[in-house]
Homo-oligomer: A and B are copies of this chain.
Amino acid sequence: MGNIYLLRHGKVNGPAALYGQTDISVSTTLNNDMLCLLMKNQDKFSHLVTSPLKRCAELAQRFTKETNKPLEIVTNLQEMNFGDYDGLAFDDIPYTDLSSSNSVSDKTDEQNQPWRHLERFWQNPAEYSLPNAEKLNDFYLRVEVAWLKLLTDYANENVLLVTHGGVIRMILAHVLGLDWKNEKIFNQLQVGNASVTHITSTSLAHLNDANSNEERASYNVQVKNIAMPLSCLLLAGQSTV
């Protein structure tokens, strides 16, 4: 049986914004604290995998330097790209009060009402894309591909994957057979900074893929807990309570 620990990066060092592929850092102090907790739990992990973005990779690279555990950087496990809104501080987005608008044409002129893009996106992220952003469907598919490759490449290993809130939600949607279009997975399931989601996998059988003539593995995947604080990792699994 293998274990995969999905660790969300620490709180980033910047104003409130949609951070997707904008390469913003976590403070060194916070990463020091996270590294300290990871070092105490180092026996739990045999391999490290990380998103290439700094807020994940800096911690993973420091951890691998301390422990010599092998590290793989997987581009497909980086956060969704939010296009023109990626990294734009919410405070810098002008607010237009729609209720005070006098003409119909004003209300439909989205160029002048940038918050409407965000509101529409939050209400229905599967159907409404932000300007020049990655589509949610494309994001789901690339995470799904990376996840299936990770299960195969690290079968029976104990992997720490440092990644993002959006990526963790897409993996959960895939594993639990949830509808990734369901906006409640984004709005009502909190995947906190520095939280750990623990998944186990058991290789069940090797199936012959008739189309590619290749052998493919089948896995039974179980979600043990979702969004547990990193500080709990030492306690989890040690006792029955």
Answer whether residue A37 sits at the interface, using C-beta atoms and an 8 A cutoff.
yes
Q: Using CB atoms and an 8 Å cutoff, list the residues of chain A in contact with chain B.
A: 10-11, 30, 33-34, 37, 175-179, 182, 184-185, 188-190, 192-195, 221-232, 235-241
Can you list 23 A-B pairs, Cβ within 8 angstroms, ordered by A? A30-B241, A33-B240, A37-B241, A176-B178, A176-B182, A176-B184, A177-B182, A178-B178, A188-B222, A188-B223, A189-B222, A190-B224, A192-B224, A194-B240, A223-B227, A224-B227, A225-B225, A226-B226, A228-B232, A229-B235, A229-B239, A232-B235, A235-B235
Asked if residues A241 and B229 are in contact (CB atoms below 8 Å), the reply is yes
Q: Which residues in B have their C-beta under 8 angstroms from that of A189?
A: 176, 222-223
Q: Are B241's CB and A34's CB within 8 A?
A: yes
Give the distance to chain B from A209, nearest Cβ to Cβ, in Å: 23
Q: Which residues of B contact A238 (CB under 8 A)?
A: 231
| B192–A225 touching, CB < 8 Å | yes
* Complex CA distance for A233 and B30, rounded to whole angstroms: 21
Question: In the complex the two chains form, is A33's CB within 8 Å of B195's CB?
Answer: no
**Which of chain B's residues has its CB closest to A232's CB?**
B232
State the Cβ distance, A30 to closest chain B Cβ, in Å.
7
Question: B184 near A225 (CB under 8 angstroms)?
Answer: no
Measured in the bound complex, the distance between the Cα atoms of B240 and A37 in whole Å is 12
CB-defined contacts of A239 to chain B, threshold 8 Å: 33, 229, 231
In the docked arrangement, what's the CA distance between A236 and B176, Å? 25
